[in-house]
């Protein structure tokens, strides 16, 4: 009787993590993060430093960066250049670039159009109730960074709510990807539930 050789076993076997990943293989890839650049009252240099580190980490992870702001382009462009530098922000849509300001989602629709990406592939970072509702109405996964004025408000549907004074795990490119993926999975599960 011939011995069975180990190398003749079928190669279709997989580990559990391979099968688990396949269950969510259709999750949209995070391609861009859009930041609301209207600084909240009381913003500090620490806040600016955290966002600068995050924004600089994104292009290194092949995630594009865009900015929306209610202010005029003449006021916002120098601020973006001073805080972030040149060449990192691909698209900037200021208040004078749109006909209908927030809470209308026109600014977000313009950013998506100029980046050439769909809403499912984008994460928005907002810090106001109006901004949160605007990003959500545009269909974007949204991270809300709370300020003293909006702490404790209802942000149902947010991808994540962070207290700007208590960031034990600061936002990073990899955390943005995890937050976006988790939001997409939860949303697809909700859409799959019977009405």
- The DSSP code sequence of 64-117 is EEEEE-SS-HHHHHHHHHHHT-SSSEEEEE-GGG-SS-TTSTHHHHHHHHHHT-
What's the confidence (pLDDT) of residue 26?
A: 76
pLDDT the model gives residue 151: 78
Q: Is the pLDDT of residue 185 over 50?
A: yes
The edge-to-edge listing of strands for the beta sheet with 64-68 is 89-93, 64-68, 32-36, 122-126, 141-146, 160-163
Q: What is the mean pLDDT of residues 164-183?
A: 83
Alpha helices in the chain (DSSP H): 16-23, 45-60, 73-83, 106-115, 129-137, 173-192
State phi, psi for 140 to the nearest 5 degrees. -95, 140
**Confidence (pLDDT) at 69:** 92
Instruction: Report pLDDT digits (tens) over 36-76.
Output: 987 655 556 666 777 888 898 999 999 999 999 998 999 99
Q: Are 67 and 93 in contact (CB under 8 A)?
A: yes
- Predicted confidence at residue 154, as pLDDT, reads 87
**pTM of the complete model:** 0.82
Least confident of 29-38, 39-48, 79-88: 39-48
150 or 165: which carries more pLDDT confidence? 150
Residue 168 confidence (pLDDT) = 65
* Contact in structure between 108 and 127 (CB atoms under 8 Å): no
Burial class (CB in 10 A: 0-12, 13-18, 19+), 110: middle
Q: How far apart are CA 130 and CA 11, in angstroms?
A: 53
Residue ranges of domains in the chain: 28-192
Query: Of residues 150 and 106, which shows the higher confidence score?
Result: 106
User: Could you tell me which CATH number the domain at 28-192 has?
Assistant: 3.40.50.1000
Confidence category of residue 25, pLDDT binned at 50, 70, 90: low
Q: What's the farthest any 2 CA atoms get from each other in the chain?
A: 85
Q: Which of 24-33, 56-65, 118-127 has the lowest mean pLDDT?
A: 24-33
193 cis-preceded (ω within 30 degrees of 0): no
What letter would DSSP give residue 123? E
């Amino acid at each position: 009787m011939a011995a069975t050789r180990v190398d003749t076993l079928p190669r279709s076997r997989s580990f559990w993590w391979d099968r688990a990943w396949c269950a969510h293989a259709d999750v949209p890839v995070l391609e861009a993060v859009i930041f609301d650049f209207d600084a909240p009252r009381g913003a500090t240099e620490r806040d600016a430093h955290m966002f600068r580190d995050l924004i600089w980490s994104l292009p290194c992870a092949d995630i594009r960066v865009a900015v929306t702001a209610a202010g005029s382009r003449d006021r916002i462009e120098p601020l973006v250049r001073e805080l972030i530098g040149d060449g990192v922000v691909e698209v900037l849509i200021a208040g004078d670039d749109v006909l209908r300001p927030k809470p209308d989602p026109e600014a977000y629709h313009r950013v998506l159009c100029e980046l050439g990406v769909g809403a499912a592939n984008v994460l928005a970072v907002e810090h106001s109730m109006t901004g949160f509702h605007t990003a959500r109405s545009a269909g974007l996964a949204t991270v809300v960074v709370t300020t003293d004025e909006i702490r404790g408000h209802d942000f149902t549907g947010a991808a994540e709510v962070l207290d700007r004074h208590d960031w034990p795990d600061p936002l990073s490119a990899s955390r943005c990807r995890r937050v976006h993926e988790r939001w997409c999975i939860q949303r697809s599960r909700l859409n799959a539930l019977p009405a």
